[in-house]
């Protein structure tokens, strides 16, 4: 009886500990409003010129922890953190070097960590702010959890991360828009709070240009949440166009984008479970896709990168209103050396 009593006490303690942990995570869970104002730091003065070429780059930097040596547990691997603090530093330096080659006037960045265990607490927002002193910026949180307990052997730990928009041009207003849909409790406590951020700029002809930096869901079962997000975004884009605004939506769509074929990229790995084609009937009125089908923008993370093995696809790009001329679009081939994505650079001009 004493042994049984001891076992029950231990089990009860474990249950109580787990319940207390869930209670703490629930209390501290990020609960954003649908629309929240974002602060704009280091704002610049210049308005966007009409008729001139402007460079915009989108880049999911993978918190500078998903270089070619890494895998990730949610994609079939085992990893959850960068290899080391030094590795994060080296990857950040390489990310900056890659961005510099695009000569971007506007930057859409995703998976930028501010205070996360997986990136050894590096404040990457501060890093970009320091390196790009001639850019204004805003930052929208989409992942804030005191402790992510998986994988059990080496848990992801604390996460504070989001999307960051930088601009050489004056940003008149910036807001965070919460996407609809979420996983069931308690899984939702440890998932990203998916959003897009909207930066509004003034063109020299008096019109507004609306820049939407997004990072859609990837792992929702059945794709129901992704469909909700796409529909929400579509309504927003069409409404902004009806107002007469110039609009660019770009980032990590986590869908195989129209006009691209993942099977053209050499790979011996099967099609990943999470990758879906953008629905054929997803048509946003008065918008066109700006994508490059020649170079993949993402690789799978079931294993460390092996050229010719990992599955690759184009999931990063831009959706652009037809009052904007798409001059060119190019995916920058980094061979996934320092992150699991390649950046996309677009040159455009306002009509």
Nearest to 90 by CA among 343, 338, 305: 338
DSSP string of 211-246, one letter each residue: EEEEE-----GGGHHHHHHHHHHHHHHHHHHHTT-E
Q: Extract the tokens encoding 197.
A: 């951020």
Sorted by sequence, the CB contacts under 8 Å of residue 76 that are 6+ apart come out as 272, 300, 301, 302, 303
Please name the fold of domain 35-350: Deoxyribonuclease I; Chain A (3.60.10)
pLDDT at 221 exceeding the cut of 80: no
**Residues 229-285: pLDDT tens digits?**
999 999 999 999 999 999 999 999 999 999 999 999 999 999 999 999 999 899 999
Q: Write down the mean pLDDT value for the chain.
A: 94
Domain boundaries defined on the chain: 1-30, 35-350
What confidence score (pLDDT) does residue 314 get? 98
Task: Give pLDDT tens digits for 115-165.
Answer: 999 999 999 999 999 999 999 999 999 999 999 999 988 999 999 999 999
- pLDDT surpasses 60 at 13: no
Q: What is the mean pLDDT of residues 312-320?
A: 98
- The answer to whether 333 and 31 are in contact (CB under 8 A) is no
Instruction: Calculate mean pLDDT across residues 300-324.
Output: 98
Distance CA 119, CA 117 (A): 5
List Cα–Cα distances, 243 to 71, 209, 296, in angstroms: 44, 11, 34
pLDDT of residue 3 exceeding 80:
no
Element (H, E) at 37: strand 35-37
How do residues 43-55 score in pLDDT, each as one tens digit?
999 999 999 999 9
At residue 190's C-alpha, the angle toward residues 188 and 194, to 5°, is: 65
Residues 6 or more apart whose CB falls under 8 angstroms from that of 66 comprise: 72, 82, 301, 339, 340
First vs last Cα of the chain: how many Å apart?
A: 83
Q: What is the pLDDT of residue 222?
A: 75
Instruction: Annotate 83-149 with DSSP letters as a single string.
Output: S-HHHHHHHHHHHHHHHHHHT-SEEEEEEEESS-GGGTT--HHHHHHHH-TT-EEEEEEEEEEEEE-
């Amino acid at each position: 009886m004493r042994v049984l009593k001891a076992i029950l006490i231990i089990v009860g303690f474990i249950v109580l500990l787990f319940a207390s942990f869930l209670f703490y995570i629930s209390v501290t869970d990020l609960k954003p409003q649908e629309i929240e104002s974002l602060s704009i730091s280091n704002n610049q003065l210049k308005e966007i010129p009409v008729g001139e070429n402007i460079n915009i780059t989108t880049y999911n930097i993978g918190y500078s922890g998903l270089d070619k040596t890494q895998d990730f547990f949610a994609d079939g691997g085992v990893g959850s953190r960068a290899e080391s603090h030094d590795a994060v530093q080296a990857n950040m330096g390489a990310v900056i070097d890659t961005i510099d080659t695009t000569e971007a006037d506007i930057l859409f960045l995703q998976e930028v960590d501010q205070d996360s265990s997986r990136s050894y607490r590096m404040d990457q927002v501060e890093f970009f702010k320091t390196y790009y002193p001639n850019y204004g910026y805003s930052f929208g949180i989409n992942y804030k959890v005191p402790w992510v307990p998986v994988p059990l052997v080496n848990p992801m730990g604390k996460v504070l991360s989001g999307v960051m928009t930088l601009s050489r041009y004056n940003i008149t207003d910036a807001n965070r828009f919460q996407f609809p849909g979420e996983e069931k409790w308690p899984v939702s406590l440890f998932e990203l709070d998916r959003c897009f951020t909207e930066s509004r700029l003034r063109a020299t002809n008096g019109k507004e240009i609306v820049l939407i930096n997004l990072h859609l869901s990837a792992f929702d079962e059945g794709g129901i949440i992704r469909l909700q997000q796409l529909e929400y975004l579509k309504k927003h884009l069409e409404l902004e166009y009806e107002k007469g605004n110039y609009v660019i939506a770009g980032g990590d769509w986590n869908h195989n984008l129209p006009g691209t074929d993942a099977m053209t990229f050499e790979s011996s790995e099967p099609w990943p479970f999470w990758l879906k084609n953008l629905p054929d009937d997803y048509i946003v009125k008065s918008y066109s896709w700006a994508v490059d089908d020649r170079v993949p923008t993402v690789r799978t993370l079931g294993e460390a990168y092996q050229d010719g093995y990992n599955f690759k696809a184009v999931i990063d790009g831009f959706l652009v209103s037809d009052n904007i001329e798409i001059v060119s679009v190019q995916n920058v081939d980094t061979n996934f050396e320092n992150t699991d994505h390649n950046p996309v650079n677009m040159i455009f001009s306002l009509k």
